[in-house]
């Protein structure tokens, strides 16, 4: 973790690191669930801020450059290493980011192994550090696999990717919020 930017609080600050929202909160927690997940985290993975932006941010579009193959580790031929996995009743999962997203992870996975941008830690009032935990109420199937290194992070955590093909009646753009609204997930 950026030791100069650590706080003993269990919440992220609302101020941005170096005044740039892309770099996430100025102060990161060292306690609580998010603080534990940030142990050893380096905001830009050892790159300078400019190197980080040059590599991972498209200034022309104003969007992050995400990894190929939906963020999965790939085989030598470029195909993603992924399986179908059923999440069972009572299983706890989480995510950083809004409930309109389609990626989740096993609860408590270290942040650096998720290989997501530091901006994903920007807080919103309902979710400190933009962190959400869910409990599976009704089993459903996801695509799952190891996460590719990206955003200067080591990756190799485990990701769950929502796919409407696996959930009867789901819309083409399946989101966490749809799963909540339709009784598959509950906020924990």
Catalytic residue among 95, 114, 119, 153: 95
Catalytic residue among 37, 119, 153, 159: 159
φ/ψ of residue 100, rounded to 5: -85, -5
Catalytic site residue 95? Answer: yes
Catalytic site residue 173? Answer: no
- The DSSP bridge partners found for residue 7 are 29
Whether 36 contacts 108, CB under 8 Å: yes
Longest CA pairwise span in the chain (Å): 48
The catalytic residue positions are: 95, 159
């Amino acid at each position: 973790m950026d030791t100069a930017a650590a706080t003993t609080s269990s919440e992220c600050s609302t101020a941005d690191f170096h005044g740039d929202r892309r770099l996430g909160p100025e102060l990161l927690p060292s306690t609580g669930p998010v603080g534990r997940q940030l142990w050893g985290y380096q905001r830009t993975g050892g790159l300078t801020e400019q190197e980080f932006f040059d590599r991972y941010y498209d200034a022309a579009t104003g969007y992050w450059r995400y990894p190929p193959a939906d963020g999965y580790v790939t085989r030598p031929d470029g195909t993603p290493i992924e399986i179908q996995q059923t999440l069972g009743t009572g299983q706890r999962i989480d995510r950083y980011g809004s409930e309109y997203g389609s990626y989740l992870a096993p609860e408590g996975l270290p942040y650096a192994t998720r290989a997501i941008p530091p901006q994903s830690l920007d807080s919103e009032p309902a979710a400190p550090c933009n962190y959400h935990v869910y409990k599976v109420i009704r089993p459903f199937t996801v695509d799952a696999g190891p996460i590719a290194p990206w955003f200067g992070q080591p990756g190799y955590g485990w990701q769950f990717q929502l796919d409407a093909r696996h959930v009867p009646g789901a819309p083409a753009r399946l989101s966490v919020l749809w799963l909540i609204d339709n009784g598959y997930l509950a906020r924990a």
